[in-house]
C-alpha cells in the first residue's frame, strides 16, 4: 500500500475553494479535481466528478482497471453535464480531474484538463500527464516560445474539461514507481504558480509527506496564491 497525504487551500485571492480531492487507500484510488463555474458551480462540479469516480471504481474494486477508470471519467462527464443542464445556477460548470489507481505495483493514471501527476525519483521531477490546454496543444505546436506563452492571453484556456462536451478525451498513462518514489497529484494552483525547482526542493527533503504537502501549499501562497491549491503526495 502506498503512503499518502493530501491537503487543499483556497489560496490568497479566492474566497471559496473549488478544488476537491480524495484519498481512498482501500480502493487504491487517489484524485484531484479543479472546478470552474460561477457562484458555487465549480465546487459542485469537482465534488460530483470525484464522487462519481469513487462510485464507479468502488462498485467493483477487484476488477477495477484502466478501462474502468476511463469509464468513470466518462460517467463523471455525463453527470456534470446533466446537473448543469438541470439547474440554471450551475450552467457552464466543469472541472479538471487527475486520478491514480494503484494496481499490482502499477499506477494507472488518467487525466482531463490541466491538473497534473508528477513523479519524483532520484532527485528528478518529471510530469506524467500532458495538459489539455491551449498553450500545450496549440501554442507550442505553433512554435511560440515559452516566455511568450507564459504571458499569452490564452495561457489559462483549457481545451478539454469534464462537463463541457460529450466528446471527452481522457489521457491515460501507466507508471511503475520504484520503492521510495514520490507521486504528486496537484491542481494548477500549485504547478502553475510554484516553479519546478521549488517543488523539487520540497520533495527532496526528509520531511514526512504531511509536512511536504503543507510546504508545497505554502510555496504557492508565498507567490501570491492566485488560485485554489491542492496537492496529494504518494510514496511507494
- Under 8 Å CB-to-CB from 78, ≥6 apart: which residues? 166
Q: Which of 108, 83, 89, 146 is nearest to 30 (CA)?
A: 108
CB 228 within 8 A of CB 189: yes
Q: Residues in the chain with pLDDT < 50?
A: none
- The cell for 174 is 501507466
Q: How many domains does the chain have?
A: 1
CB 189 within 8 A of CB 229: yes
Q: Which of 206, 231, 235 is nearest to 98 (CA)?
A: 231
Q: What is the pTM of this model?
A: 0.95
DSSP state of 15: S
pLDDT at 136: 77
pLDDT at 39: 65
Residue 197 buriedness (CB in 10 A; 0-12 / 13-18 / 19+): exposed
Segment 141-169, tens digit of pLDDT: 777 877 776 776 777 789 999 999 999 99
- The cell for 9 is 487551500
CB 7 within 8 A of CB 222: no
- Cα-based torsion angle of the residue sequence 9, 12, 13, 17 in order, rounded to the nearest 10 degrees: 10
- The cell for 80 is 456534470
pLDDT at 149: 65
DSSP state of 137: I
The H or E element that residue 169 is part of is none
pLDDT at 144: 82
Q: By residue range, what is the domain housing residue 150? A: 3-235
The residues with which 203 forms a beta bridge, in sequence order, are none
Q: What angle do CA 141, 145, 146 make, to 5 degrees?
A: 100
Tell how strand 116-121 and strand 106-112 pair up. unpaired
Can you give the CATH number for the domain in which 25 is found? 3.60.40.10
Amino acid at each position: 500500500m502506498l503512503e499518502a497525504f493530501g491537503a487543499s487551500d483556497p489560496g490568497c485571492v479566492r474566497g471559496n475553494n473549488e478544488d476537491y480531492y480524495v484519498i481512498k487507500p482501500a480502493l487504491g484510488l487517489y484524485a484531484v479535481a479543479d472546478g470552474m463555474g460561477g457562484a458555487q458551480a465549480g465546487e459542485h462540479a469537482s465534488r460530483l466528478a470525484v464522487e462519481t469516480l469513487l462510485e464507479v471504481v468502488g462498485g467493483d474494486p477487484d476488477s477495477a482497471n484502466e478501462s474502468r477508470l476511463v469509464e468513470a471519467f466518462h460517467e463523471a462527464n455525463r453527470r456534470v453535464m446533466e446537473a448543469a443542464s438541470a439547474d440554471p445556477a450551475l450552467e457552464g460548470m466543469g472541472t479538471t480531474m487527475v486520478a491514480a489507481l494503484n494496481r499490482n505495483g502499477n499506477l494507472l493514471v488518467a487525466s482531463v484538463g490541466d491538473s497534473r501527476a508528477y513523479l519524483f525519483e532520484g532527485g528528478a521531477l518529471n510530469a506524467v500527464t500532458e495538459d489539455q490546454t491551449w498553450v500545450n496543444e496549440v501554442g507550442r505546436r505553433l512554435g511560440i516560445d515559452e516566455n511568450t506563452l507564459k504571458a499569452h492571453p490564452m495561457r489559462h484556456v483549457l481545451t478539454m474539461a469534464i462537463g463541457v462536451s460529450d466528446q471527452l478525451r481522457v489521457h491515460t498513462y501507466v507508471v511503475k514507481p520504484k520503492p521510495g518514489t514520490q507521486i504528486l497529484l496537484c491542481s494548477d494552483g500549485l504547478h502553475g504558480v510554484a516553479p519546478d525547482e521549488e517543488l523539487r526542493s520540497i520533495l527532496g527533503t526528509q520531511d514526512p509527506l504531511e509536512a511536504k504537502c503543507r510546504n508545497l501549499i505554502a510555496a504557492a501562497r508565498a507567490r501570491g496564491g492566485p488560485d485554489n491549491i491542492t496537492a496529494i503526495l504518494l510514496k511507494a
